[in-house]
C-alpha cells in the first residue's frame, strides 16, 4: 500500500493530532517485534504526514502510483470477519471449486 | 476436447531388462509417469514380478494425480482404475476416493467402504471415513441408508451438523455444546478442530493457526483447512495464493479476513490486470469505480499514473471520459517527469514553470496554504535534488546553484518557518564566500530560533570564516551548553581557538596566543587535539626563546613517533604558522630522510590520513618536502593491506612520485596485483596518457582480467575507467573502450582459441595478427607473466572490442584486429593512428596477408 492516509486509516483532512493518534494506535496494534512490516509502513506513513508541511509536500511531490491494495482499501476497506453461510460451507465440504 | 496425436511408443527390444528397469525407475523418480507406465508394462511382459507391479502402481497413481491437477478428472479416474486392477499390491489411495466423490460416483465409494473397509489399514480407513463424513455433512444424507446405524459417520453426524449450523449462524454457545458431543476418535475430529480454529481467526490468529496446523492435510475436511490457511495467510502472500484458489475456498477465506463482496469483486478485476498492471488499464479501472473510490482521490492518483508515458499520457484522461489535465496539473506532471529523468536544469525549469502557474491566481499570503505550496515548489530542486550540496562538492554548476539560491531565498517569503532552507542558504553563502549574505540570513534565522543548535553551529562557522575567533568561541560555548555531547562543536571550538592562537603567534603576541591555547585546552578532550595544542605551544616557545623552543619541538617530534611521522607533525603545524618545511626541520635537526622502519612509515601515514580526514589539504611545500624521502622509502616492508592503504593515502595527498615508488615496490612482492597496477599506472602517468607505453596498457588489461577473476569488481571498474581515459587521451573518444568486458562469458571462444593454439602454436597465432616484432615479444612476455589462458582471454576481449566497433557493418571488409592497443606508426615516423569515425574502419583497407579469420 502506498497511500499513507490509508495506511494510518485517517481522512485527508486529518490534523497533526489525529495523525499522531492514529499512528500511536497503529503501532500499539503492530509493535515492531510482532509485525515489523506493518510497523515500518506505519512509521513511513507517519513521517509522510506528521506536519502540515509534510502533508503538503506529500500531496505535491509523492509520485508513487496507486497500488491494487490502495484501491481495495479505498473502495472497500477490510471490515469485521464474516462467517460463511451454511450453503457456502456445504459447497466447500463437497469440494466445489 | 481435441485429441492429441500420440507418438508411437518406442519399442525397447534392444534394451536389457536391467537397463529398462533403471530407465523405468528414473522416469518414476523424475515425474515422467507416462514413460514410467510404458517401461514397467514392458518389464511385466518380459517377467511378471511384484517389483514391476509396485512400480507400475506408483506410476499410475502419479499420472492420476497429474491429470486430476489439470482438471482431467475422468482420465484420472481411469488411471486409478488401472491401478486398482493390479490387485492387492496397489493399496487403496484416499485421493481416489476424493476424486470419485468429486465426480459423483458415490456408489463406488460406498461399495469400497462396505466391502473392503475392514481390510484397510486403520489410518486409511480413518481417511476414507472423513471423506464420507464431509460428504454426508455437505447435504448428501442419502448415503445414510447405505450405512449401518452404528457407523460413526451417523453416530456423530447430528452433532457435527449442529456444530456446522451453529457456527454459520454465529451461535457460539450452541457451537460449543455441539462440539463437546464429538469425540476425539470421530470422523468429524478435523471438523471440530477447524471450527474451533476459524472461530478464533478474528481475535486470536496465532492460536487459530496452531490449531489449523494440527489437522490432517489430505482428509475429507482438507478444503476447510485450506480456506482457514488462506484466511490466516500473511498479507504479502495473499495475492499469489488467491490466484491459485477456487472460488468457493476464496469466498470463505476472504469473508473470514473481513473482505466484503465489493472488495472481493474489485480484487477479481484487479487480478485480471496482472501483477504489474499497465498504467492505462489501471486508470480505466479507477474511473470505472470512481464513485466507490472518490472523485478527488481518483483524480489525484490518476495524475501519478501519467508520469511514465508523458506527454502522450495526457490524452488518457479524456479516453476514460474524464476532463483532461488543467494547465496547473500539466505543469505538475511535467515537473515530476523531469525530476524522474534526473536532468537538474530541466527539473529546475519545470518546477519554476509550475511555481509561475501557481502564482497566476495572485500572490499568496505568507503562511497560507497557497503560500506554503508555492514555497515548497520553489525549494523543491534543493530539497529533492540537493543542488546546493552538489555545487559545494563540485558536482553541479555554480550557475545552477545561483538559481537555486535565489529560489530558496524567495521561498522564505512565503514560508519563513523552514529552518533547513536557512541552513542551506548559509552553507552556500559560506562556500561562495558571500559572508555578508550569510550573516544576514543567519540573523533572520536566529531571530526565530535563538537556541537552535544547528543555527548556532552555523553562526560559529560564519564567525570562523570571517576570522571572528572570539565570537566563534563564544558561540561554540553556547552550543555546548545546549548540547554537551556535541563532539563536533568541541573540535570546532578547539580549532577556532587554535586558529586564533596562530593568528596571535604570527603577530608575535605570544601572551594572547597562550591565553587562546589555555582556553582551547579546556575543551580538548581527545589525545590528538591535545597533541596539536602541545605543538602550537612549542611554537610559541620557539617564538619567545629559540633554543628552548627547539628542544621542546625535538622532544615532541620524538614523542609523536620520531622519524618521518614526527617530522610531518612538526612541519604541518609549522606550515600553518608560515614556516618553510626545509628551513624549520633543518634548524631543528629533524631533516626527513629515507626510512627502513615499517613502524615509522605506518605512523607517518596514520598522521597524514588524520590530517586529510579532518578536511585539510597537504600544503604544497610540505608535499614537495616529503616526496623525496618517501620515494626512497618505498621499499619498506609492509603487509598487502598496509601497502594498499599507503597508496590510497598518497593518492589523496597528491604525492604521486611517492605513490609510484610504493606501488612499484608492492608489485615486486605481489606480481601483477591489480590494485597496485592501478596505482603504478596512475602515479606514473598522472593524467598524461598520450604517450603511455603498449606494455603499460597490456598490464592494465591483464590486471582487469585478474581483478575480475578474484571477484574484485571495484578495482576492475577503476582499471577499466582508467583504460578508457587513457584510450580517449590517445585517440579521442572515438574508439570503443578497450579491455575485457566485465561480466561477459567468453568460455566457448576461449576453448576454440585454446584448441587452435594447441594445434598451430602461439607463434603462428600471433603471426595472424598485425603485430610488429616488438609487440609479438610483448605478448610472449605477457604469456609468461599471466599464463596462456589469460593471454588468450585478453586476445578475445580485443577481438570483441573490434567487433563492437564494426557492429553497424557486420559483413564489411574490416580489419578483424583493432588498431588499439597496437597503433601502427604513420608514414614518416611521428604520430600514431589517425582519428577515425566511430565504429568504422578505413574503407577499402585490405586484410594483412597471412591472416586467418579464426572467429
Interface contact flag, B266 A76, Cβ < 8 Å: yes
Q: What is the pLDDT of residue A79?
A: 87
pTM equals: 0.59
| CB distance B187 to B221 below 8 Å | no
Interface residues on A facing B, Cβ-Cβ cutoff 8 A: 12, 37, 52-53, 56-57, 59-66, 68, 70-72, 74-86, 88-97
Nearest C-alpha in A relative to B287: A71
Cα(B525)–Cα(B538) distance, integer angstroms: 19
Q: Which of B223, B231, B234, B328 to mutate to test the interface with A (most CBs of A within 10 A)?
A: B223
> Is the pLDDT reported for residue B2 higher than 50?
no
Q: What is the pLDDT of residue B829?
A: 36
Please compute Rg for chain A using Cα positions.
Answer: 18
Percent of chain B with pLDDT over 70: 86
Nearest C-alpha in A relative to B329: A60
- The alpha carbon of residue A58 is apart from the nearest alpha carbon of chain B, in Å, by 10
| CB distance B387 to B396 below 8 Å | yes
Q: What is the pLDDT of residue B806?
A: 43
How many residues are present in chain B? 855
| CB distance B720 to B742 below 8 Å | yes
Facing residue for A88 by CB, picked from B252, B282, B376: B252
How far does Cα B629 stand from its chain's mean position? Answer: 44
Question: Cα torsion at B695, B700, B706, B708 (round to 10°)?
Answer: -150
Cα end-to-end distance, chain B, whole Å: 51
Return the ∠ at Cα B542 (arms to B540 and B545), rounded to 5°: 105
Interface contact flag, B235 A60, Cβ < 8 Å: no
How far does Cα B707 stand from its chain's mean position? Answer: 21
Q: Which of B68, B160, B168, B283 to mutate to test the interface with A (most CBs of A within 10 A)?
A: B168
Place of cell 478527488: B296
Nearest C-alpha in B relative to A2: B301
Cα(B175)–Cα(B166) distance, integer angstroms: 5
Interface contact flag, A76 B282, Cβ < 8 Å: no
Q: Which of A95, A96, A97 to mutate to test the interface with B (most CBs of B within 10 A)?
A: A95
> Is the pLDDT reported for residue B825 higher than 50?
no
- Give the A:B interface size as CB pairs under 8 Å: 152
Reading the block at residue B459, the C-alpha cell is: 553562526
Facing residue for A65 by CB, picked from B270, B304, B376: B304
Identify the DSSP state of B117.
G
Instruction: Report how far apart, in Å, the C-alpha atoms of B94 and of each of B82, B100, B152 are.
Output: 16, 10, 18
Facing residue for A64 by CB, picked from B223, B294, B304: B304
Interface contact flag, A71 B286, Cβ < 8 Å: yes
| CB distance B622 to B567 below 8 Å | no
> DSSP H helical segments within B386-483, as ranges?
387-392, 398-414, 419-431, 435-448, 453-465, 469-482
- Top-confidence residue, B563 or B805: B563
Residues of B whose CB is below 8 A from A70:
301
Facing residue for B257 by CB, picked from A12, A61, A78: A78
Over residues B558-586, the pLDDT tens digits come to 888 888 989 999 999 999 898 999 899 98
> Is the pLDDT reported for residue B735 higher than 50?
no
Nearest C-alpha in A relative to B205: A81
Interface contact flag, A53 B376, Cβ < 8 Å: yes
Q: Which of B131, B138, B371 to mutate to test the interface with A (most CBs of A within 10 A)?
A: B138
Burial class (CB in 10 A: 0-12, 13-18, 19+), B470: middle
Residues of A whose CB is below 8 A from B263:
72, 75-78
Facing residue for B258 by CB, picked from A68, A78, A94: A78
What is the arithmetic mean of pLDDT over B652-674? 93
Cα(B385)–Cα(B376) distance, integer angstroms: 13
Residues of A whose CB is below 8 A from B198:
83
Over residues B593-605, the pLDDT tens digits come to 888 888 889 999 9
Q: What is the pLDDT of residue B748?
A: 58
Residues of A whose CB is below 8 A from B246:
96-97
Q: What is the pLDDT of residue B92?
A: 66
Identify the DSSP state of B364.
P
Residues of A whose CB is below 8 A from B293:
71, 74-75
Cα(B374)–Cα(B350) distance, integer angstroms: 13
> Is the pLDDT reported for residue B739 higher than 80?
no
Interface contact flag, A71 B246, Cβ < 8 Å: no
Nearest C-alpha in B relative to A64: B304
Interface contact flag, A84 B98, Cβ < 8 Å: no
Cα(B285)–Cα(B289) distance, integer angstroms: 6
Residues of A whose CB is below 8 A from B355:
none
Facing residue for B336 by CB, picked from A63, A68, A81: A63
Interface contact flag, A65 B262, Cβ < 8 Å: no
Phi, psi of B640 (to 5 degrees): -55, -45
Mean per-residue pLDDT of chain B: 83
Interface contact flag, A83 B170, Cβ < 8 Å: yes
- The alpha carbon of residue B88 is apart from the nearest alpha carbon of chain A, in Å, by 29
Residues of A whose CB is below 8 A from B376:
53, 56-57, 60-61
> Is the pLDDT reported for residue B609 higher than 70?
yes
Q: Among B71-75, B379-383, B839-843, whose mean pLDDT is lowest?
A: B839-843
Interface contact flag, B376 A66, Cβ < 8 Å: no
> Is the pLDDT reported for residue B725 higher than 50?
yes
Nearest C-alpha in B relative to A68: B270
Q: Which of B205, B301, B347, B415 to mutate to test the interface with A (most CBs of A within 10 A)?
A: B301
> Is the pLDDT reported for residue B824 higher than 50?
no
Q: What is the pLDDT of residue B448?
A: 94
Reading the block at residue B643, the C-alpha cell is: 601497502
- The alpha carbon of residue A90 is apart from the nearest alpha carbon of chain B, in Å, by 4
Interface contact flag, B138 A80, Cβ < 8 Å: no
Over residues B105-157, the pLDDT tens digits come to 888 888 888 887 777 778 888 888 898 999 999 988 888 888 888 999 999 99
Helices and strands in chain B, H and E counts? 46, 0
Q: What is the pLDDT of residue B810?
A: 32
What is the arithmetic mean of pLDDT over B211-222? 82
Residues of A whose CB is below 8 A from B138:
90-91, 93-94
- The alpha carbon of residue B758 is apart from the nearest alpha carbon of chain A, in Å, by 59
Interface contact flag, A80 B202, Cβ < 8 Å: yes
Over residues B488-513, the pLDDT tens digits come to 888 887 887 888 899 899 999 999 99
Facing residue for B168 by CB, picked from A60, A71, A86: A86
Residues of A whose CB is below 8 A from B142:
none
Over residues B386-416, the pLDDT tens digits come to 777 777 666 666 778 888 899 999 999 999 9
Q: Among B90-99, B667-676, B739-748, whose mean pLDDT is lowest?
A: B739-748
Over residues B740-774, the pLDDT tens digits come to 544 444 455 666 677 667 656 777 777 767 677 77
Residues of A whose CB is below 8 A from B223:
92-93, 95
3-state secondary structure at position B131: helix
- The alpha carbon of residue A33 is apart from the nearest alpha carbon of chain B, in Å, by 15
> H or E segment at B229?
helix B222-232
Residues of A whose CB is below 8 A from B202:
80-81
Reading the block at residue B681, the C-alpha cell is: 599506472
Interface contact flag, B282 A83, Cβ < 8 Å: no
Over residues B165-212, the pLDDT tens digits come to 999 999 999 999 999 999 988 999 999 999 999 999 888 888 999 999
Amino acid at each position: 500500500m502506498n497511500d499513507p492516509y490509508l495506511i494510518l486509516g485517517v481522512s485527508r483532512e486529518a490534523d497533526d493530532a489525529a495523525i499522531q493518534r492514529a499512528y500511536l494506535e497503529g503501532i500499539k496494534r503492530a509493535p515492531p517485534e510482532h509485525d515489523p512490516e506493518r510497523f515500518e509502513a506505519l512509521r513511513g506513513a507517519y513521517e509522510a504526514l506528521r506536519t502540515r508541511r509534510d502533508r503538503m509536500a506529500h500531496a505535491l511531490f509523492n509520485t508513487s502510483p496507486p497500488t491494487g491494495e490502495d484501491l481495495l482499501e479505498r473502495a472497500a476497506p477490510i471490515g469485521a470477519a464474516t462467517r460463511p453461510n451454511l450453503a457456502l460451507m456445504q459447497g466447500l465440504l463437497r469440494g466445489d471449486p | 476436447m481435441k485429441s492429441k496425436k500420440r507418438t508411437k511408443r518406442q519399442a525397447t527390444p534392444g534394451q536389457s531388462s536391467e537397463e529398462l528397469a533403471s530407465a523405468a525407475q528414473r522416469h518414476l523418480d523424475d515425474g515422467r509417469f507416462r514413460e514410467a507406465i510404458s517401461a514397467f508394462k514392458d518389464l511385466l511382459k518380459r517377467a511378471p514380478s511384484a517389483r514391476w507391479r509396485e512400480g507400475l502402481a506408483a506410476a499410475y497413481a502419479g499420472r492420476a494425480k497429474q491429470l486430476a491437477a489439470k482438471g482431467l478428472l475422468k482420465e484420472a479416474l481411469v488411471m486409478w482404475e488401472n491401478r486398482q486392477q493390479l490387485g492387492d499390491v496397489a493399496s487403496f489411495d484416499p485421493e481416489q476416493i476424493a476424486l470419485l466423490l468429486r465426480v459423483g460416483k458415490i456408489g463406488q465409494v460406498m461399495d469400497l467402504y462396505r466391502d473392503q473397509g475392514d481390510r484397510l489399514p486403520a489410518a486409511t480407513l480413518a481417511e476414507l471415513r472423513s471423506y464420507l463424513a464431509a460428504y454426508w455433512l455437505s447435504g448428501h444424507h442419502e448415503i445414510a441408508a447405505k450405512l449401518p446405524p452404528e457407523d460413526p459417520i451417523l453416530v456423530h453426524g447430528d452433532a457435527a451438523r449442529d456444530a456446522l449450523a451453529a457456527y454459520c449462524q454465529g451461535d457460539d454457545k450452541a457451537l460449543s455444546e455441539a462440539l463437546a458431543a464429538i469425540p476425539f476418535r470421530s470422523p468429524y475430529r478435523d471438523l471440530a478442530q477447524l471450527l474451533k480454529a476459524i472461530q478464533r481467526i478474528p481475535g486470536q490468529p496465532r492460536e487459530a493457526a496452531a490449531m489449523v496446523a494440527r489437522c490432517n492435510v489430505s482428509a475429507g475436511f482438507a478444503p476447510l483447512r485450506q480456506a482457514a490457511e488462506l484466511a490466516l495467510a500473511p498479507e504479502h502472500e495473499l495475492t499469489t495464493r488467491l490466484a491459485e484458489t477456487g472460488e468457493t475456498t476464496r469466498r470463505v477465506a476472504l469473508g473470514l479476513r473481513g473482505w466484503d463482496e465489493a472488495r472481493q469483486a474489485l480484487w477479481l478485476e484487479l487480478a485480471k490486470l496482472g501483477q504489474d498492471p499497465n498504467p492505462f488499464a489501471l486508470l480505466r479501472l479507477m474511473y470505472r469505480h470512481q464513485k466507490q473510490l472518490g472523485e478527488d482521490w481518483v483524480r489525484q492518483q490518476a495524475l501519478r499514473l501519467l508520469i511514465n508515458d508523458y506527454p502522450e499520457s495526457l490524452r488518457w484522461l479524456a479516453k476514460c471520459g474524464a476532463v483532461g489535465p488543467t494547465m496547473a496539473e500539466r505543469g505538475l506532471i511535467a515537473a515530476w517527469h523531469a525530476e524522474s529523468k534526473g536532468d537538474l536544469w530541466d527539473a529546475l525549469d519545470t518546477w519554476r514553470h509550475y511555481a509561475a502557474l501557481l502564482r497566476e491566481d495572485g500572490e499568496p499570503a505568507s503562511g497560507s496554504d497557497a503560500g506554503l505550496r508555492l514555497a515548497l515548489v520553489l525549494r523543491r530542486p534543493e530539497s529533492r535534488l540537493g543542488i546546493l550540496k552538489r555545487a559545494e562538492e563540485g558536482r553541479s554548476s555554480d550557475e545552477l546553484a545561483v538559481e537555486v539560491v535565489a529560489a530558496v531565498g524567495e521561498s522564505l517569503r512565503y514560508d519563513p518557518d523552514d529552518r533547513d532552507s536557512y541552513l542551506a542558504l548559509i552553507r552556500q553563502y559560506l562556500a561562495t564566500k558571500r559572508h555578508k549574505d550569510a550573516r544576514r540570513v543567519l540573523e533572520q534565522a536566529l531571530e526565530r530560533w535563538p537556541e537552535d543548535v544547528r543555527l548556532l553551529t552555523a553562526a560559529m562557522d560564519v564567525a570562523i570564516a570571517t576570522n571572528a575567533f572570539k565570537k566563534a568561541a563564544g558561540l561554540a560555548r553556547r552550543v555546548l551548553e545546549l548540547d554537551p555531547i556535541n563532539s563536533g562543536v568541541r573540535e570546532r571550538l578547539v580549532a577556532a581557538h587554535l586558529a586564533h592562537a596562530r593568528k596571535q603567534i604570527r603577530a608575535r603576541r605570544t601572551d594572547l596566543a597562550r591565553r587562546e591555547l589555555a582556553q582551547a585546552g579546556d575543551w580538548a578532550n581527545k589525545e590528538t587535539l591535545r597533541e596539536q595544542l602541545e605543538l602550537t605551544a612549542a611554537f610559541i616557545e620557539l617564538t619567545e626563546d629559540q633554543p628552548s623552543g627547539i628542544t621542546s619541538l625535538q622532544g615532541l617530534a620524538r614523542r609523536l613517533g620520531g622519524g618521518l611521522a614526527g617530522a610531518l607533525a612538526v612541519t604541518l603545524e609549522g606550515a600553518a604558522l608560515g614556516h618553510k618545511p626545509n628551513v624549520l626541520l633543518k634548524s631543528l635537526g629533524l631533516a626527513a630522510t629515507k626510512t627502513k622502519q615499517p613502524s615509522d612509515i605506518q605512523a607517518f601515514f596514520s598522521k597524514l590520513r588524520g590530517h586529510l580526514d579532518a578536511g585539510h589539504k597537504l600544503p604544497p611545500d610540505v608535499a614537495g618536502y616529503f616526496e623525496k624521502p618517501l620515494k626512497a622509502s618505498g621499499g619498506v616492508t609492509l603487509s598487502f593491506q598496509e601497502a594498499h592503504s599507503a597508496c590510497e593515502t598518497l593518492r589523496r595527498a597528491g604525492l604521486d612520485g611517492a605513490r609510484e615508488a610504493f606501488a612499484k615496490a608492492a608489485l615486486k612482492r605481489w606480481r601483477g596485483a591489480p590494485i597496485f597496477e592501478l596505482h603504478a599506472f596512475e602515479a606514473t602517468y598522472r593524467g598524461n596518457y598520450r604517450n603511455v607505453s603498449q606494455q603499460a596498457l597490456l598490464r592494465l588489461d591483464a590486471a582487469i582480467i585478474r581483478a575480475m577473476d578474484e571477484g574484485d569488481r571495484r578495482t576492475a571498474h577503476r582499471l577499466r575507467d582508467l583504460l578508457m581515459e587513457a584510450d580517449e587521451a590517445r585517440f579521442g573518444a572515438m574508439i570503443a573502450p578497450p579491455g575485457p568486458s566485465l561480466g561477459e562469458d567468453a568460455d566457448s571462444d576461449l576453448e576454440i582459441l585454446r584448441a587452435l593454439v594447441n594445434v598451430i602454436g602461439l607463434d603462428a597465432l600471433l603471426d595472424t595478427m598485425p603485430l610488429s616484432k616488438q609487440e609479438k615479444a610483448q605478448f610472449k612476455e605477457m604469456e609468461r607473466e599471466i599464463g596462456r589462458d589469460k593471454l588468450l582471454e585478453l586476445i578475445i576481449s580485443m577481438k570483441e572490442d573490434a567487433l563492437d566497433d564494426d557492429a553497424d557493418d557486420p559483413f564489411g571488409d574490416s580489419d578483424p584486429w583493432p588498431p588499439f592497443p597496437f597503433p601502427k606508426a604513420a608514414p614518416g615516423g611521428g604520430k600514431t593512428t589517425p582519428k577515425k569515425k566511430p565504429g568504422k574502419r578505413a574503407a577499402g583497407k585490405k586484410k594483412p596477408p597471412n591472416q586467418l579469420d579464426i572467429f
